[in-house]
C-alpha cells in the first residue's frame, strides 16, 4: 500500500496539466512500468481520444473492437501480450463513482502485473479520474481530449451543464447519452444524489441552436436553484415555470420530466411537464409508464404542478427518451415509435445501464439509415437495485 499511497500523493501535488507526466514517472518508479497513455471517451462515446498537448498526433481508438475499448466496456483491466518477451500492455478503465471517463494504457514487465498490482493500479486510475475532474477547473486539456471534432456553441453550453454521463450507488446505476453529440440544441439531463434521494430531470427545450441552449440553461439552473433551496418536486417545477415565463412571456417553453426516488423505499415522485416519456422493464416485460400530462414550463403564468407517486422495485430498469427518439422517422417515413423502443430495451437488457443509451441510439441510427437526425435524441437508463435493510436476529 506504500507504493499506492506514493503514486496518489504524486497525483495530488501535480500541476493540473501535468497529471499524466507525473503519473507516468510515479508508475515507473513504484511499479516498473515503461510508458503510460491516457485516452478519454469522446462526447459521442464512439472513440477514445489521446490526452496530449499537441492535438491530433495520435489517431483516435474506436471503443468498439479495440483492446482499450474492451477494458472501457467491461470496466475491467485487459492484459494484452506484446511482441517483446516478458512484457505486456495493460488497459485499465478510468472511472469515478460510475462515471466512465476513459482508459489508461501502460506498458510493463509481465512480472509487475500480478493480481495485487492490478488492483492497486485500478485504485490509482480512480484517483486519476478524481484529479482530472478537479483539474478541469484550471485547464482545458482534458475537455479538449474528449472532442473528436469541434462543438457548436450551443453544444458547448449544453455539455457544460451536464453532471456526467453515468453514476452508480449501491441503490442504483444510471447512464445517459445525447445525440447528435457535437451539435445538440435543447435536450439535457441532470441528476443529484443525497443521503436519501436521487433526483433526475430530463429537459427538452423549445427551438433550435442558441435559442434552445439559452432556454435549457435557464430551466436547468432554475430547477437546481429550487432543489438546493429544499423545495419539493412540484414546487421545483413551479419555480422553474415562473422563471421561464418571466423571461419569455410564453413565447418559449420547455418540456421536462422530473423524477425523485427515495433510496430507502423505492418510492418515486414524478412531475410530467411535457414530452420526455418513460418506459419500465420489469423481468422480461416492457411497458410505457404514463403520468398525468401537465403544461410545459413557461407556457403560462403561475402554473400549478402536482407530483404523482409510484414505486420502483429491485431489478426494475427505467428508460426515459426525448421526442427526438420515439418521434424519429426513417427515410421511408416510418416512425421509430414505442414498439421499436420496447424491442431495443428488451434486446439490451443484459447490458449495464451506462451502455444502454448508446445501444438504443445505435438502434435508432439503424432505423433512420442515412437520414440525419433532425432533432436532439436523448436516452437515460436507470437500473434500480434498492437498499438492503439489515434486520436484527430476534433469536440472538
Alpha-carbon distance of 10 to 14, in angstroms, equals 6
pLDDT at residue 194, as a whole number: 96
List the grid coordinates of 134.
Answer: 478537479
- Give the residues of the chain that fall short of pLDDT 50: 390-396
Give residue-wise pLDDT tens across range 164-209. 999 999 999 999 999 998 988 889 999 999 999 999 999 998 888 8
Give residue-wise pLDDT tens across range 291-307. 999 999 999 998 999 99
pLDDT at residue 107, as a whole number: 93
pLDDT at residue 254, as a whole number: 96
* 377-384: strand order across its sheet: 166-169, 172-179, 377-384, 317-321, 277-282, 285-289
Question: Helix axis angle, 19-31 relative to 115-135, nearest 10°?
Answer: 160
pLDDT at residue 392, as a whole number: 40
DSSP annotation of 206:
S
**Cα distances (angstroms) measured from residue 291 to each of 15, 223, 283:** 50, 20, 22
pTM above 0.95, yes or no: no
Per-residue burial over 111-131, b if 16 or more Cβ lie within 10 Å, else e, is ebbeeebbebbbebbbbbbeb
CB distance 107 to 82 below 8 Å: yes
SS3 label, residue 354: coil
Amino acid at each position: 500500500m506504500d507504493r499506492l499511497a506514493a503514486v496518489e500523493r504524486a497525483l495530488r501535488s501535480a500541476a493540473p496539466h501535468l497529471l499524466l507526466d507525473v503519473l507516468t514517472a510515479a508508475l515507473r518508479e513504484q511499479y516498473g512500468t515503461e510508458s503510460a497513455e491516457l485516452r478519454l471517451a469522446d462526447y459521442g462515446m464512439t472513440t477514445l481520444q489521446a490526452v496530449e498537448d499537441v492535438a491530433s498526433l495520435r489517431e483516435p481508438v474506436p471503443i468498439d473492437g479495440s483492446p482499450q475499448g474492451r477494458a472501457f466496456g467491461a470496466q475491467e483491466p485487459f492484459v494484452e501480450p506484446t511482441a517483446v518477451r516478458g512484457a505486456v500492455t495493460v488497459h485499465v478503465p478510468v472511472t469515478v463513482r460510475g462515471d466512465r471517463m476513459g482508459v489508461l494504457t501502460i506498458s510493463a514487465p509481465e512480472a509487475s502485473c500480478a493480481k495485487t498490482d492490478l488492483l492497486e493500479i485500478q485504485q490509482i486510475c480512480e484517483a486519476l479520474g478524481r484529479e482530472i475532474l478537479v483539474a478541469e477547473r484550471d485547464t482545458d486539456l482534458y475537455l479538449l481530449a474528449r472532442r473528436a471534432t469541434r462543438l457548436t456553441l450551443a453544444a458547448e453550453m449544453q455539455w457544460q451543464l451536464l453532471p456526467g454521463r453515468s453514476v452508480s450507488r449501491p441503490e442504483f446505476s444510471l447512464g445517459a447519452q445525447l445525440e447528435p453529440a457535437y451539435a445538440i440544441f435543447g435536450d439535457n439531463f441532470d441528476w443529484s444524489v443525497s443521503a436519501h434521494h436521487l433526483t433526475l430531470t430530463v429537459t427538452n427545450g423549445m427551438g433550435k441552436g442558441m435559442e434552445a441552449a439559452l432556454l435549457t440553461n435557464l430551466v436547468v439552473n432554475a430547477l437546481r436553484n429550487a432543489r438546493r433551496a429544499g423545495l419539493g418536486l412540484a414546487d421545483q417545477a413551479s419555480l422553474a415555470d415562473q422563471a421561464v415565463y418571466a423571461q419569455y412571456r410564453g413565447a418559449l417553453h420547455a418540456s421536462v420530466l422530473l423524477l425523485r426516488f427515495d433510496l430507502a423505499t423505492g418510492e418515486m415522485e414524478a412531475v410530467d411537464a411535457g414530452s420526455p416519456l418513460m418506459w419500465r422493464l420489469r423481468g422480461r416485460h416492457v411497458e410505457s409508464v404514463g403520468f398525468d400530462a401537465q403544461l410545459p414550463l413557461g407556457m403560462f403564468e403561475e402554473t400549478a404542478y402536482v407530483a404523482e407517486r409510484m414505486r420502483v422495485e429491485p431489478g426494475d430498469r427505467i428508460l426515459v427518451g426525448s421526442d427526438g427518439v420515439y418521434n424519429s422517422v426513417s427515410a421511408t417515413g416510418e416512425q421509430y415509435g414505442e414498439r421499436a423502443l420496447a424491442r431495443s430495451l428488451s434486446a439490451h437488457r443484459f447490458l449495464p445501464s451506462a451502455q444502454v443509451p448508446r445501444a438504443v441510439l445505435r438502434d435508432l441510427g439503424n432505423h433512420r439509415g442515412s437520414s440525419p437526425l433532425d432533432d436532439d435524441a436523448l436516452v437515460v437508463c436507470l437500473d434500480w437495485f434498492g437498499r438492503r435493510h439489515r434486520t436484527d436476529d430476534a433469536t440472538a
